[in-house]
Structure formats: C-alpha cells, structure tokens
Amino acid sequence: MKALTATNYNFPGQQSVYHGKVRDVYNIGGEKLVMVATDRISAFDVVLPKGIPFKGQVLNQIASSFLDATADICPNWKQATPDPMVTVGVMCQGFPLEMIVRGYLCGSAWRAYKSGVREICGVRLPEGMKENQKFPVPIITPTTKAEIGEHDADISKEEILKRGLCTPEEYAILEDYTLRLFERGTQIAAKRGLILVDTKYEFGKHDGKIYLMDEIHTPDSSRYFYSEGYEERFAKGEPQRQLSKEFVREWLMDNGFQGKEGQQVPEMTDEIVRGISDRYVELFEHITGEKFVPQDAEDIAARIERNVTDYLNQ
C-alpha cells in the first residue's frame, strides 16, 4: 500500500506553494488554488512519520461531496476535483477566524465546563449539564486562526469586532452561514445513523463576497457520534462511540505520546498503518453512504500531476 507524503509540483501558471501539516496548496496565477490532500497525518500538532494510504482521497472526496451538498446555502471556493486527492478553487482572502459550532458538550468544552467554567467565547452555558449532552441550541465558539507554530485561541464575538477581524455585517453573515451549514450537516448525518457533534468552518472573501473555504464535515475537522446507543450510553454516563480521528490520538496516548517535549512517537508498524487506513475508509463509507473506490496508487504523484495539468490547460 503506497502513500503520498510529499509533493513538489510546478503546475502551469504556478506562483507559489504552501506546505501545510497535511495539505499542499499551490497558488495558480494569484487567482486559483490547487489543494492537494496528501496522505500525511497529524495529531497533537505533530506530523506522524508515516503516511496513511487513501487518507488524502478519503478526506478530499468527503469535503468535495459536502461542498456540493451545501452550495445552495452559501457560495464556496470549489471549482473542480480533477483528481481524487485534489480540489481546485477560487483564491479567497481568509478571515483570521475558525467558526467552531457545537451541538453537544464534549471535548475541550466539556473539560472547561467540568473545571467550573460557565462561559466559553462569550456564550453562557446552562448549569447542570453532563458530558456529551445536547445543547438546547447549537453554540458558536470561534477561535483565532493562529500563525504557524502557535495554537488557536478562543475568542468572543465582542473581541472579534473590537479587534476589527471582521465588520459587524460580515460577522452576522458568518454566524448565519455557520448555523445553516451545521443544520444541513446534522440532517445529512442523521440519514446515515450519525450525530454531527461539532465542527469548524473557515470563510474568506472573493470579489467582495463571503465564501466558505477549505474542507467541510470531514472526520479531521468534525466529531461524529453513532446515533444508535447514544441515549443509552448518555444515561449510563458511558463514552460515546465516535467517528472521528480520535482513535489515532487514543492510540498515541496509550503509547505515551501527546506531542510533549521529549516524547517519542510510537513505532508505526505496517499493521498499525493498515489499521488506520481501514478506519478512514470506514469513516468515508459511513459519512457519505457510498462505497469507497480506491484510486490507482501505482504512481500517485505522477497521476496527480497529469490530472491537474490537463485541467489547468483546458
């Protein structure tokens, strides 16, 4: 099983390239972006030493499918997917924010709540809530979009406006789009026997208009629970069955790694890599309701170069 862990293309009209933790983004003529979803995998802000076969294809195809399924709610950056691991779209000037929306009290919000916090990002939380409990209505808890090497930080709507990160009119649109996208994602998840617990959206401007950018509703940017057994587990105070990349973090933690200084990433045997790959395929099939069709992996880099170049030359 082969994995694509690095790219170094020179596409027609290319101006620059940005290598992120898991995606490589090529700037074409200052107008288009070619976003390659590699098979790199990160956890605890660390890129793990081995790639996961088909991970890039899984995430790119999930995001592409959800961009299409939500295009009636707000404009998005996607123009084409010339390769299973690539999305091409319009270049936007991104807002320095991530719009995080939560339908349930879990993860970092639950840890804060358990320690006595009752307000997150300016949002008051009800008393007496339990872990994994559904909020009366979904809440938006934005974070700043950190510079490389820094961590995102919680921020309130008031602070966003005070710092001029967007105008009040723009924030009203971001809030509206966020809640409507989350509602659509929730409806789609319910049809698949899933609960969309929380997710994040990124927005930017193109020609003066606000666009949804980046990925959407993937297991790397979202948390899902299985609907079946949710009520029973919640009543008993048991952990929920999750559909996210949490299983990778759990494997790392079980083996003494949380990204802290001096800690070693545990050995990623072929068996471990194959297991993670299988889980990503399982995520794809649950979330989309479609059978996963693995693409030719003989020479992934050459395939992508051919497909993207053909598209750009059209």
Multiple choice CATH, 94-243, 3.40.309.10, 3.30.1490.20, 3.30.470.20, 3.20.20.70: 3.30.470.20
Pick the closest to residue 222 from 205, 252, 202 (CA basis): 202
What type of residue sits at position 202? E
| Phi-psi sector, 78: left (phi>0), alpha (psi -120 to 50), beta | beta
- pLDDT category at 220 given cuts 50, 70, 90 is confident
Q: What's domain 14-92+267-313's superfamily in CATH?
A: Phosphorylase Kinase; domain 1 (3.30.200.20)
pTM of the model: 0.91
pLDDT tens figures, 53-72: 999 999 999 999 999 999 99
Give Cβ neighbours of residue 115 (< 8 Å, ≥ 6 apart).
none
Q: How far is CA 208 from the centre of its chain?
A: 25
Q: CATH topology of 14-92+267-313 equal to that of 94-243?
A: no
State the burial class of residue 261 (Cβ atoms within 10 Å of its Cβ: 0-12, 13-18, 19+). Answer: exposed
- pLDDT category at 249 given cuts 50, 70, 90 is confident
Going from N- to C-terminal start, the domains of the chain cover 14-92+267-313, 94-243
pLDDT tens figures, 156-179: 999 999 999 999 999 999 999 999
pLDDT value at residue 151: 66
pLDDT tens figures, 173-208: 999 999 999 999 999 999 999 999 999 999 999 999
